[in-house]
Amino acid sequence: MKQRFRLALAQISCEKADKTANLRKMEKTVIEAKKQGADLVIFPELSLTGYVVRDEIYELAETIPGPSISIVENIARKTKTYIVLGMPELSRKTQATLHNTAALVGPRGFIGKYQKMYLPTHSVFEEKRYFRPGYDAAAFDTPLGRIGLIICYDIFFPEVCRLTRLAGAQLIVCISASPAIRRAFFETLTSARAIENTTFLAYVNLVGIEDGLQFWGGSRLIGPQGKILGKAKYDEEDLVTCDIDYTDLRSVEAFVPTLRDLRPELFDKLKESAEKL
Amino acid sequence: MELNPSTLDMDWSEVETKILRFIKDYVRKSKMDGVVVGLSGGVDSCTSAALSALAIGGKQVQALMLFEKETRNPEDIRHAKLVAKQYGLNAQMCDITDTLGAFYRSIPSFDLADKLCKGNVKARTRMIYFYYYANKMNLIVCGSSDKSETMMGYFTKWGDVAADIWPIMDLYKTQVRRLAEHIGISKKIARKPSSPALWPGQAAENELGIKYEQLDLILYGLEHFLKVEEIAERLRLKRELVEKVKRRWLSSEHKRRMLLTAKLEYRTVGWDFRLPRDPYQLAREDDL
């Protein structure tokens, strides 16, 4: 396993409901990122289709693995890179039951997926109308370390990152489609989740305007001490590469031992209290 | 949450950037050649026209100055011309007096003394002019409604609010005034009293029965889920006044959310056909 590697925050805008165009853009971006030395390229939430596709989503969703993942596998194979992207996933057992999913693909093919647990259905969001929530945290062994996946609104719930970290993730990838008004929340929470879990956290947000909704970008890699190691522009497409060195984890884990100090008995109380809210 | 004039402060450079991007994006995606915007000389229309020019260039902005005998105000005309010149707009003036007169005469029972009905005819007639230019010149209609008037239902249904995009609709009136000054519109225009110009001497604040400085803070409180009594207490206002504003806001939703359809079938326009707005239809096709 590599202790050090370079990743790319691929902050793109999407052609709405045009998977072919978005896959083409992803391929071009991965090739460029590889030229810059990146081994892992991360795309935003629902980057295969765009975020505001509403009822069109039933036609756009695919199984994972499926046709679009096959194309991403080819890109990963050709370029010898690992790729994370977001897409609407169609359940294999049904015809219209969907998940908002992050998929991880590597040079040897599909590695794993994460189904978003917390689906925002308030303000401008209507995700519960379309998606079924996932129930499991996800972390996968790769030659680039153990990579965990979460999606956007999950970051407001510290237990998702905690579960992912406890599943062994050294790098948590958070893909996102966050509109501009929420910038301050994410800028704080991305650092907080990295610090409290002593982990690297790569946040990759969408840009562009969909149905008048503006996505703010600002993708970043946060180190386990909360330091921003690389940051993309606000509001514009950008490709930023930044380096991870997992040896930093040991030092921070010893210095602020949040994982050592976990108190599992409090989680029982938390469960009880949450059920009575 | 504090409710005072600084509550409504925003980063005006950022607001400007977002609005310019919004206008530019819509014009590009719709493959249209620009926008048409009404330019009355008031702060809302001057700001919308100026922002459009800053987004896509003044030559791509068809500014229509629609005046009529009854409400013609030389100062407004002067202000409209000033803004048109300042931002290099493609400006045109139309006198709609004869159009209105023909309409009044065509209805045998038309009540000239009913200023509300007559005023609404004026607002809807202006809308027809905007859409004529949009159709003819391949343009988008850019609306000038602000958040205060829209929340209060202080507009004509299918009239002054009819447009394809509303760049300043998420800004309260007092915020529009600040944005106007930020982008270089003269203080005189930015701070002058508002009027829909539907009849002579009409003043928005008189009709609403409250100053915009107070109204905007009440509406801001309602927007942020504050209760009536909390708003009244923070602003040291009578509960009844805040209650009145809230009632007016709630009772005018029918003007903001169009297409109330009787639900009869599987999926229904206005209810559960939830489709993305993109890809945009050409304006020419809108009316077919």
Instruction: Name residues 17-46 of chain B within 8 A of A (Cβ).
Output: 17-18, 21-22, 25-26
What is chain B's percent helix, strand, coil content, to nearest 5?
A: 55, 10, 40
Q: Residues B74, B76, B79, CA angle at the centre, nearest 5°?
A: 110
Q: What token pair was written down for A110? A: 């599909």
What is the percent of chain B where pLDDT is above 70? 96
Clarify whether A14 is annotated catalytic: no
What is the percent of chain A where pLDDT is above 70? 100
Contacts of A209 in chain B (CB under 8 A): 21-22, 25-26
Band (B285; pLDDT cuts 50, 70, 90): low
Give residue-wise pLDDT tens across range A133-164: 999 999 999 999 999 999 999 999 999 999 99
Q: Name beta bridge partners: B67.
A: B95
Q: Provide the b/e sequence for B59-98 (b: ≥16 CB within 10 Å).
A: ebbbbbbbbbeebebeebbebbbbbbebbebbbeeeebee
With an 8 Å Cβ cutoff, are A211 and B273 in contact?
A: no
Sheet holding A98-106, edge to edge: A109-115, A98-106, A82-90, A40-42, A4-11, A238-245
Mean pLDDT score, A8-19: 96
CA distance A20 to chain B (A): 16
ipTM of the complex: 0.86
pLDDT at B280 over 80: no
**CA B50/CA B154 separation, integer angstroms:** 23
Q: What's the whole-model pTM score?
A: 0.92
**CA A172/CA A222 separation, integer angstroms:** 10
Of A19, A25, A45, A127, catalytic: A45
Clarify whether A161 is annotated catalytic: no
pLDDT at B283 over 90: no
Instruction: Say what angle helices B228-235 and B212-223 make with each other, to 10 degrees.
Output: 140
Domain span holding position A175? 4-275
* Domain residue extents for chain B: 5-286
- Count structural domains, chain A: 1
Residue of A53, A126, A214 lying closest to B18 (CB–CB): A214
CATH topology of domain B5-286: Rossmann fold (3.40.50)
pLDDT of the residue at B277: 79
Residue pair A144/A80 in contact by the 8 Å Cβ criterion: no
The length of chain A is: 277
pLDDT at B275 over 90: no
With an 8 Å Cβ cutoff, are B276 and A52 in contact?
A: yes
CATH of the domain at A132: 3.60.110.10
Kindly state whether A35 is in contact with chain B, defined as any CB-CB distance less than 8 angstroms: no
**CA B147/CA B191 separation, integer angstroms:** 17
Nearest-Cα residue of chain B relative to residue A50: B276
What are the strands, taking DSSP E only, across A46-144?
Answer: 82-90, 98-106, 109-115, 138-142
Clarify whether A152 is annotated catalytic: yes
Q: What token pair was written down for A119? A: 């689906």
List the one residue out of A46, A264, A272, A40 whose CA is nearest residue A163.
A264
Contacts of A210 in chain B (CB under 8 A): 276, 278
